[in-house]
Amino acid sequence: MKKIRAWFSAARLRTLPLSISGILTAGGAAILVEQFDITILILAILTTLGFQVLSNFANDYGDGVKGTDNKNRVGPARALQSGLLTAKELKYGMIATSFITLFLASLLIFIAFGNKNFILSLVFFNLGIAAIVAAITYTVGKKAYGYRALGDVFVFLFFGLVGVMGCYFLFTQTLTSFIVLPAITIGLLSAAVLNLNNMRDRVEDQKVNKNTLAVVLGAKVSKLYHTLLIFIAFLTAVCYFFLEAEAAIHFLPLLAFIPLGLNIYVVFKTETPALLDPELKKVALSTFIFSLLFILTQFYF
């Protein structure tokens, strides 16, 4: 039981709702154009959860072997850092999760395109490979991009543009000009979660040469950057609903930005990095609520 709890700890279950926000948003957009498929939604969610768990295993392993996770770590203790799992066990976990996720991705691609669209299947299969590589190399390897202030870019791309637009294409096999707006919204909010995480860990990361964007920008500018991420996310969401909403109820997801506005206030007045940890959860949960309301309002109204 202790080992099972260790794997659940390494999987960091609290990060999983955020990871599927883009899938739910894409599903809501597909309902709007009457091309929704519940099988594709379920397989897309399972595949995305696989990518997220793989990323969490890789982050635990990468930061652990590099010594970034140590006794001074501000956030929750990691499995490798605390000795609950060994580096070898995490490696095996990463390999197993990669194969399972790739299988789910292949099944998703087949359900979406069948055996008639080889080129599209190949493109999406390669996107799946790229997502696996990105999940692992965030902290693993000598050129880990999470240590080179590029984490925000990759999160924006894979959680936002690729996650939402790619999943929408699986439903519809086409892209509308408006789908980029909710994709930007989810991508920016996901980047805001990462930025809060990096702001919380900024002091300790700087000591061990983990050059996240928060380390590069410094405390004050990171807060301004955080505000900009949420403000632009709000604008793109509003623009999408004005262009695409068919009823007033479809604007309901914007309620998720109320706690996000309060989050900005709290972030600006907080001087102790450790106190940002609860705010990280609030932004992640608000993003999930936005996407959940996004799809539910399309289902029932």
Q: Any idea what the CATH number is for the domain that residue 136 is in?
A: 1.10.600
Within 10 angstroms of residue 117's Cβ, the number of other Cβ atoms is 14
Distance CA 290, CA 183 (A): 12
Residues 6+ apart with CB under 8 A from 43: 104, 107, 108, 111
Q: Which pLDDT tens digit goes with each residue over 86-131?
A: 888 889 999 999 999 999 999 999 999 987 788 888 889 898 899 8
Closest among 65, 173, 64, 69 to 117, alpha carbons compared:
173
Q: What is the mean pLDDT of the chain?
A: 89
**Residue 300: pLDDT over 80:** no
- pLDDT for the residue numbered 220: 93
Percent of the chain with pLDDT over 90: 57
Q: How far is CA 10 from CA 59, 93, 122, in A?
A: 9, 10, 32
Determine the number of helices (DSSP H) and then strands (DSSP E) in the chain: 14, 0
Report the domain count for the chain: 1
Question: Which residue range forms the structural domain that includes residue 48?
Answer: 2-300
User: Dihedral sign, CA of 283, 102, 124, 138?
Assistant: positive
pLDDT band, very low/low/confident/very high, at 245 (cuts 50, 70, 90): confident
C-beta of residue 17 within 8 angstroms of C-beta of residue 285: yes
Within 10 angstroms of residue 258's Cβ, the number of other Cβ atoms is 10
- pLDDT for the residue numbered 301: 63
pLDDT band, very low/low/confident/very high, at 82 (cuts 50, 70, 90): confident
